[in-house]
Structure 1
Amino acid sequence: MLMAASVTYIRAPPPPTPEELKFAASVSVHADRRTTSPASEMVRVAGRSDEETMLTKFYASTAERPAPPNITSPVVSTSNPSTNTTTYIDIATDSSNTTTFTTSIKLLLFDLVKIYSTPTFKCIKLLKQGGRTCQRIPDGDKKVCIDSNVAPSRNSCIVYSFGVGHDFSFDKAMGQYGCDVFSFDDDVYHNIYQRNVFPRVVFIQIRLGSKVLVLDVVDKVKNTTFQYLYRPLDNIMFLLKHYDANLDVLKMDVEGDEWQIFLDSIFRTDVLERTRQLSVEVHMTDFLKHDLQPLEARVAILRYSSFFKGLKSRGFELAYYEPNYINPTLATVEGVTFSVLGEQLWVNTRLQPGQPPTKG
């Protein structure tokens, strides 16, 4: 019987999933203008005014960007005293020993559950903002830490809220707190909202993405076409003249797109270094696949773990976690049962100072 003596790590990035490859091949890309130098151009989207889309300039930084975090797989070193030799086994990829492979998945899963659900930052004053109650179960509220050393500065803070749907309660509450709030979402039903939905709250019809993208969606029943507009975070901040500013709260509920957006875009910028708090709803729905195979489970675990470790490597610590109570969704992998939907609040313990927003 081999006994684990120590654990080291090697890089092992996962391949794209079949769903990702299918999506990449099927979308209609009208604009992908992430260049290596700043550019000034007018981009027009049919049926929208320039003010609504705010497409007056496009920016892509020439500065060196840090690479996204490397996904790692553990390598267990085992020693044989009788022969005085050491054998190294990549337990995350070597499926020749079914027992070892299954055990490795459990170890990786325990590590994942711990990192995404165990707070490592003690917030004394946790402020509940927005939300509603359905059958005495809270839903839609977000938490903000207002301890003196990490609290958003009243009357001078900036909040970006992505994926509002039709619930502006958090955004309204942060406006009342004293922040300038910018709310984002985009579908045909958001045309009913005015630009200034509440005092200090501005609504913009843009979806957060990993690149500039206009996606045509055809409604065959109504025989209509709607264009979803996606933009990366650093590009949006440039358009709003916030590019060098601090984000006091970055709130995201983008229904599972958070993984690709962070790994392909946000982790490649320095925006997080200037972000004080990150409120995000995570959707680890890969674990809900019917008849999930061990190798697929391993790829999913490493994909999600890379996101959380990427946050921690930038100084973020988990201050709050709760599973989704209004829509509890559990998965069981190798005998381990856990929630795949959860609300998190991360606090930046190494915040870098930004510049005041540009006026005008």
Structure 2
Amino acid sequence: MAAFPSRKLLTIALVILTTLLTITLYRLTSLETCFKMHRAVHGDLSALWRNPEGTAERPHAAACEIEQVKAGYSLYQMLIKEPLHFKCQKPRTIQNRDEGSWTYCADPGFALKKPCLVYSFGINYDFTFDDAAGKLGCQVLSFDPSMRNLTDRRRNENVMFYLIGLGSHDTDTFEPRLNSYVAEPTKWKMRTLKTLLQQMKHADRTIDLLKIDIESSEWQVIRNILDTGVLRQVKQLLLEWHIFPDTPPRKEYVKLAEVLDELKAAGFRSFHRHEHPVNLDWSEFNVQSDVAYVNVKFKDR
């Protein structure tokens, strides 16, 4: 008579079988995640430019690499190394008071001419760009919640300042991360761009230029602006992208690449880029890059 396996052997066999099943399920999940990442991060983004409608099937690499460092390095390539995709014939640069500058496109169809509308987020007490846009005849709305010694006020005939921040959701109790602009814990009033446009009675207006410099919060904000469809109202987008050693979380890098991908699919083509050499060290996960875009899909409202 054949001997039945002992209870101990059966237990061992069950553990081995469970482990193999768990590994198999994990690998299947990882493969799906990997495929999505290669579509968003390692895909041949040039295919999107050859097909402006975004319907081209982008190739993906045969080998699968889902490590956060590699995903992050792909972000670095997209923010720093990727070729520009629009040739602006009349770029105009406005130098900030202390350091840095902003470049916009003055080509026909994009030039800032009265009655233009500009939304500017992230001032840090330097209204150089906002004042310059105001002198061109634009109505300029300037926002910065970190300038706590100021209140909502009219700066001049065309420039109005608001002690409000641009957020991915509406809240009066946003707690910003501590950095060179925020020395101690505080709470800010934040509104989405869609909410601000409604409050300012600009829901049906064209935004001739949208400037955003909000110290790494731009990733969630652009995600929200994409989801709400407000970008269709924007002609030009001037954006300072940030990746710091501690934020955004590295586990989010794939999603960040998706934001860049979708921004392009929405019609935004880069025509200018400036990297900040002081904050450019990928070995420390540190990237800061000013990128200027025009919306080639813009249609007059």
- TM-score, normalised to structure 1, is 0.59
Amino acid paired to 2:231: L
Match of 1:238 among 186, 198, 206: 198
Amino acid paired to 2:260: F
Asked whether 1:120 is paired with 2:120, we answer: no
CA distance 1:189–1:289, shift in 2 (3 Å): closer
Asked whether 1:316 is paired with 2:268, we answer: yes
Distance 1:75 1:179 in 2: 44
Distance 1:123 1:216 in 2: 38
| Equivalence for 2:179 | none
Distance 1:75 1:319 in 2: 26
Deviations, residues 152-188 of structure 1 (Å, cap 9, x unaligned)? 3x11110000111111111001001121000001146
> Does the CA contact (< 8 Å) of 2:73 and 2:282 recur in 1?
no
Deviations, residues 213-256 of structure 1 (Å, cap 9, x unaligned)? 11176xxxxxx996410111000000000011111110001111
Amino acid paired to 2:225: I
> Does the CA contact (< 8 Å) of 1:279 and 1:345 recur in 2?
yes
Asked whether 1:347 is paired with 2:288, we answer: no
In the TM superposition, what is the alpha-carbon distance from 1:329 to its structure 2 partner? 3.4
In the TM superposition, what is the alpha-carbon distance from 1:111 to its structure 2 partner? 4.5
In the TM superposition, what is the alpha-carbon distance from 1:113 to its structure 2 partner? 3.6
Distance 1:194 1:233 in 2: 17
| Equivalence for 1:83 | none
> Does the CA contact (< 8 Å) of 1:157 and 1:247 recur in 2?
yes
| Equivalence for 2:279 | 328
| Unpaired stretches in structure 2, ≥5 consecutive residues | 1-33, 39-53, 176-183
Percent identity (aligned) = 28
| Equivalence for 1:213 | 171
| Equivalence for 2:160 | 202
Deviations, residues 255-290 of structure 1 (Å, cap 9, x unaligned)? 110111122x211112111200100111011xx259
- TM-score, normalised to structure 2, is 0.70
- How many residues in Structure 1 have an aligned counterpart in Structure 2? 240
Deviations, residues 280-309 of structure 1 (Å, cap 9, x unaligned)? 111011xx259xxxxx85x45423311211
Asked whether 1:148 is paired with 2:95, we answer: no
| Equivalence for 1:307 | 259
> Does the CA contact (< 8 Å) of 2:154 and 2:161 recur in 1?
yes
> Does the CA contact (< 8 Å) of 1:323 and 1:339 recur in 2?
no
Larger radius of gyration: 2
SS at match of 2:222: helix
Name whichever structure is richer in helix by fraction: 2
> Does the CA contact (< 8 Å) of 1:329 and 1:340 recur in 2?
yes
Distance 1:270 1:240 in 2: 18
> Does the CA contact (< 8 Å) of 1:162 and 1:251 recur in 2?
yes
SS at match of 1:132: coil
| Unpaired stretches in structure 1, ≥5 consecutive residues | 1-8, 14-68, 78-88, 94-100, 134-138, 218-223, 291-295, 355-360
| Equivalence for 2:139 | 180
CA distance 1:231–1:75, shift in 2 (3 Å): same
> Does the CA contact (< 8 Å) of 1:187 and 1:226 recur in 2?
no
Q: Which deviates more, 238-247 or 208-217?
A: 208-217
| Equivalence for 2:36 | 11
Name whichever structure is richer in strand by fraction: 1
Instruction: Write the mapping of 1:27-176 to structure 2, written as runs, cut at 5 A.
Output: 76-77=61-62, 91-93=64-66, 106=70, 108=71, 111-117=74-80, 118-132=83-97, 139-152=99-112, 154-176=113-135
Distance 2:236 2:60 in 1: 34
